Homo-oligomer: A and B are copies of this chain.
Amino acid sequence: MANALRNSFKYGCSGLLSQLSLHCRHGRVCASPYAAVQQRNNSSSAKIKVDLDASTGVAVMWMQSPPVNSLSLDFLTEFAISLEKLEMDRSCRGLIITSTLPKVFSAGLDIMDMYGKSPEHCGEFWKAVQEMWLKLYGSNMVTIAAINGSSPAGGCLMSMACDYRIMADNPRYSIGLNETKLGIVAPFWFKDTMVNTVGHRTTEIALELGLLYTSPEALKIGLVDQLVPEEQVLTTATETMTKWLAIPDHARQITKSMMRKQTIDKLLANREADTHNFVSFITKDSIQRSLRMYLEMLKKRKA
């Protein structure tokens, strides 16, 4: 994988990778990550801020976990709790997800939750990744990704799980499932979600090459639905939401379920095996060595 990592830089991997998951993590011991998060006020928690406009029924979820909104176990736990609260709040019909950070929507899964961790930790982490996708892809709310920065790997998955994707029209921002380029493999439900979004052949070539697409390229292949100037991403999301909310909820929800249920059921039926696969892959010596080299390289680049 050392070769792979060198090549990932050589072949145009986003400069964003230099920041990927290199933020400080304050160790915290708690019986359950859920417990720890639940003690905070959701709206003022460290990683995610939620604003619900009661007059429109639209919530905005701000991802605000510097430097790159990595999807750590803590982040994902907060995300799941926030989403579930909104899902059960009958006054909330629509959700816009966006980032408060410059240049990045989300850099994807947090490598620090995969490197040097016990199999138990890796398993917990993976279940949280599954949970994020299951809740978001199957949400009864209208979900719009307001992608105001780069969105590789898990950030791309999160975007694809929404109903609609609006991205900043900036060719320096990229999006895609680039796992292969890092020597790891997107699991079947990442793949299924992408096939549902851009079709079989585009997914095949994207996943085999671990391609990151600039925003214009992403629009062209249908990975995002619309490009607007960066300062208009959120306002366009809000306007688009109005159009979606004009559709009767009940009919739209049944229709959405009809389109997505089969894909969701496939993970539900294989969730244990999928977790087991991830844990046994990521805890391999060779993969751990590669992750260490990758982290060291990122540190050097940062220095």
Contacts and interface: CB of A to CB of B under 8 A. Distances in A.
A200 B208 contact: no
Given A209-B243, A247-B180, A251-B180, A259 B200 contact: yes
A226 to B, nearest CB: 11
Given A196-B201, A199-B199, A201-B197, A207 B246 contact: no
9 contacts: A1-B248, A4-B251, A11-B246, A183-B248, A185-B251, A205-B225, A207-B259, A208-B259, A210-B251
Of A203, A247, A252, the most chain B CB neighbours within 10 A belong to A247
Given A199-B200, A207-B255, A180 B248 contact: yes
Contacts of A247: 4, 7, 180-181, 208-210
A204 B247 CA distance: 14
Contacts of A255: 180, 185-186, 191, 207-208
A230 interface: no
A259 B201 CA distance: 9
Interface of A: 1, 3-4, 7-8, 10-11, 163-164, 179-186, 188, 191, 195-201, 203-205, 207-210, 222, 225, 243-244, 246-248, 250-252, 254-256, 258-260
Contacts of A251: 4, 179-180, 182-185, 210
Nearest to A7: B246
Contact of A208 (B10, B163, B199, B250): B163
Interface of A is mostly: helix
A163 B201 CA distance: 10
A14 to B, nearest CB: 16
Contacts of A185: 251, 254-255, 258
Contacts of A182: 251
Given A195-B200, A204-B260, A208-B252, 13 more contacts: A7-B246, A180-B247, A183-B250, A185-B255, A185-B258, A188-B258, A191-B259, A196-B200, A197-B201, A204-B256, A204-B259, A208-B244, A209-B244
Contacts of A186: 255
A254 B208 CA distance: 9
Contact of A243 (B11, B163, B203): B11
Nearest to A251: B180
Contact of A246 (B10, B225, B260): B10
A139 B204 CA distance: 14
A209 B249 CA distance: 11
Contacts of A208: 163, 244, 247, 252, 255-256, 259
